[in-house]
Structure 1
Amino acid sequence: MNGFDLYRFIVDVYVVGFLCLFGFIGNALSIAVLYRDRGKKNTTNWLLQTLAVGDTLYLMACVFIQPLKTINTQTNWIPGLKNTLPYLERYIWAAASIAQTITVWTVLLVTLDRFMAICKPLSTQLRSLERAKLTVTIVIVLAILYNIPRFFEREVVIEVNKQCNTTYVKVDKSAMRQSKIYFLVYKTICYFIFRAIGPLLTLIILNYKLIKALQEVRRRHEDLTRSGKHRENITLMLVVVVCVFIVCTLPDLFLRLIVAFREFFPHLTRGLQWHWLSAMNVITNMLLVINSSINFLIYCLIGKKFRKILTQMF
């Protein structure tokens, strides 16, 4: 095992494996605590539960495409994976993309909900639970439709070694995935508009306005009631969640920009070797897993009511 393989093995198997386990437990506890909250009919509360479900689905897919895939390619720990994981992998990548798309847009919905609650407090009809559920349903349907092409990006290839009389099953890029037009239109332009730059810019703007609104409330000391303090605490908690989301997502965006430039303008990235991009990809994937597993910790550190309910549960 060379240096890069060892580095990837440690990150994918041990680090990401631990993060996924922590995320499963943390998201389950988050859903349980938020469900027990007396204000569970609140739209923010319900959207945070939806976010925890989306994060859990993404982590489930990541278990297959990071720890198990690395174990399958670098060890013989689980021999049964050799001929089964490639058949699952072509679908798991698409499932992971669907879950991540739902997560991105759910974070945006929660942020928009808090923006309306703090900056437009009179618009209660726009923040009804029925509207939130309808919007999430639309997001889920659109996420599935948007990611349908990803189910056809990979194909299973069976290689036969006549000398050893053995077969080797692997996953390779399909002809559609290798098309430059497909890579430009779907993998680059559509990704940056609907999955990256568009949502991220909106999140940054809304988060900045939420931070300014919090500062204004604290400066004026206008809202000192118990419900007002709770509302301010929820907003602060969400601001931190969004900041962590942005920090964990931006490196993946930059890496995809580099890969796109390398694909269409190879002379501009001639000095950038592929193994460096692979090493960066391991880290960006780990950051995405961190984003889907750390919200429980944020809720515990900042959410006063969340800590109180969690303590009562145990």
Structure 2
Amino acid sequence: MNTEATASSTEDQEAIMPTLGSLSLAQLKQCNDYYIVSAAFIGAFVLLGLVGNSLTVYIFRNASNQTSTMYLICNLAVVDVMVTLLFLPVALPPSVGTLSIFYIAYVSNLAYTLNQISIFFTTILVWQRYISVCKPHDVKYWTKVSVLRGMSIAAVILSIGVYAPGFLKYTVNRTSAGQFVVQTTRVGSNPIFYYLHTVGIMNLISYVIPVSVISYATIRLIQSLRDKTALVSSQRARRDLTKSVVVIVILFIVLQSFRPVRYILLSVFNPYSMAISCQGPLMYFAPIPPFVTILNSSVNFLIYVICAKRFRQKIAAIICGRLNRLVPESISGATNLDQ
């Protein structure tokens, strides 16, 4: 795929892609109805992500007994808040001015960079739980906050390094009809760069390695949960958190499977912004990858509420305005989860 071929492909697809002026009122209504429904779902989960992750950070950072697990959960919640905020423009229809065009070209790469950080933080979290539950002899080192902080910083640096070239892949141009479209640059249209970076490195870093590590750790955690039945209260709290992590990573594996599909479609449909426009071939697919990313960053809070009894009690106390009347022992027991 060279530059000339890319330009030719762009012209061919511009000829077959529908423009708003060529669409009937029924087609436009169909698009608007779909945009409204998808925007409602995305907006609801963005709100859930903002509120839920904020409450998660509040509860764990105000705990009387800080642990390494809480440190990782707080880091993950903070990043997930930023992810949901940057994916919020996805709720707007592609027909809203040129916002979607510039979002695809520039902002979306920043959003996926933060999502990559979230992926790494999830991997570190499940690995830490695996060490705590299945490798008790290694707990002293791998659960040190200083060690986990170093791993988190390395994850941020690696994510930025991997996704930084993405800012050089696209540019915004005008078509002969006066429309703004996202087109690949010489860097983005270079086949070596595409297959090495986008297909190879990005899928390896964002999907293959994290899913492999998480799958192994999750299987071992599930085996450990099956082996432990009679538990005292403090052990039950730790088990609840482990169950929460297991549910989170299972959902993570399912939702992250949409990322490789998106990378393939980005190469097939050029310009991508035209393909996702009203009545374009990817109109119905367009909101799915960002929606599942928002979903993945938003539902952790619900999982904690469902799976962790002590966390659920703290949320109930906050809602009922009784947080200051909680017994100190309950707070300690609710947060001492990974010893």
Q: Is the 8 A contact 1:244 1:291 kept in 2?
A: yes
Cα 1:293–1:43 change in 2 (3 A) is same
The answer for the alignment partner of 2:95 in structure 1 is 74
**2:135 is the alignment partner of 1:132:** no
Number of aligned pairs?
283
Letter in 2 for 1:37: A
**2:58 is the alignment partner of 1:53:** no
The answer for the alignment partner of 2:317 in structure 1 is 312
Aligned pairs (5 A) from 1:1-314: 1-2=27-28, 5-6=31-32, 8-39=34-65, 41-64=66-89, 66-68=90-92, 70=93, 73-75=94-96, 82=97, 86-87=101-102, 89-123=104-138, 124-158=140-174, 168-218=179-229, 221=230, 224-253=231-260, 255-256=261-262, 259=265, 279-313=284-318, 314=321
Superposition deviation, residue 209 in structure 1: 0.7
Cα 1:146–1:239 change in 2 (3 A) is same
Q: CA RMSD in A?
A: 2.6
SS in 1 for 2:226: helix
Greater relative contact order (Cα < 8 A, sep 6+): 2
Superposition deviation, residue 261 in structure 1: 9.4
Cα 1:10–1:153 change in 2 (3 A) is same
Letter in 1 for 2:296: N
CA deviations on 1:146-199 (whole Å, 9 max, x unpaired) are: 1110111221224576xxxxx654433222222222221111011221111121
Cα 1:201–1:20 change in 2 (3 A) is same
Superposition deviation, residue 8 in structure 1: 4.6
The answer for the alignment partner of 1:269 in structure 2 is none
CA distance in 2 between counterparts of 1:155 and 1:117 reads 47
Cα 1:278–1:182 change in 2 (3 A) is farther
CA distance in 2 between counterparts of 1:286 and 1:3 reads 22
Structure 2 regions of 5+ residues with no counterpart?
1-26, 270-278, 322-339
CA distance in 1 between counterparts of 2:266 and 2:108 reads 19
Superposition deviation, residue 260 in structure 1: 8.5
Q: Is the 8 A contact 1:252 1:281 kept in 2?
A: no
CA deviations on 1:91-136 (whole Å, 9 max, x unpaired) are: 3112112111101111100000000000012321221011111110
TM-score by length of 1: 0.81
The answer for the alignment partner of 1:164 in structure 2 is none
TM-score by length of 2: 0.75
Superposition deviation, residue 249 in structure 1: 1.4
SS in 1 for 2:136: coil
Letter in 2 for 1:251: F
Letter in 2 for 1:306: F
The answer for the alignment partner of 1:79 in structure 2 is none
Q: Percent identity at matched positions? A: 20
Cα 1:198–1:141 change in 2 (3 A) is same
Letter in 2 for 1:31: V
CA distance in 2 between counterparts of 1:297 and 1:279 reads 27
Superposition deviation, residue 287 in structure 1: 1.6
The answer for the alignment partner of 2:13 in structure 1 is none
SS in 2 for 1:280: coil
Structure 1 regions of 5+ residues with no counterpart?
76-81, 162-166, 264-273
Q: Is the 8 A contact 1:188 1:260 kept in 2?
A: no
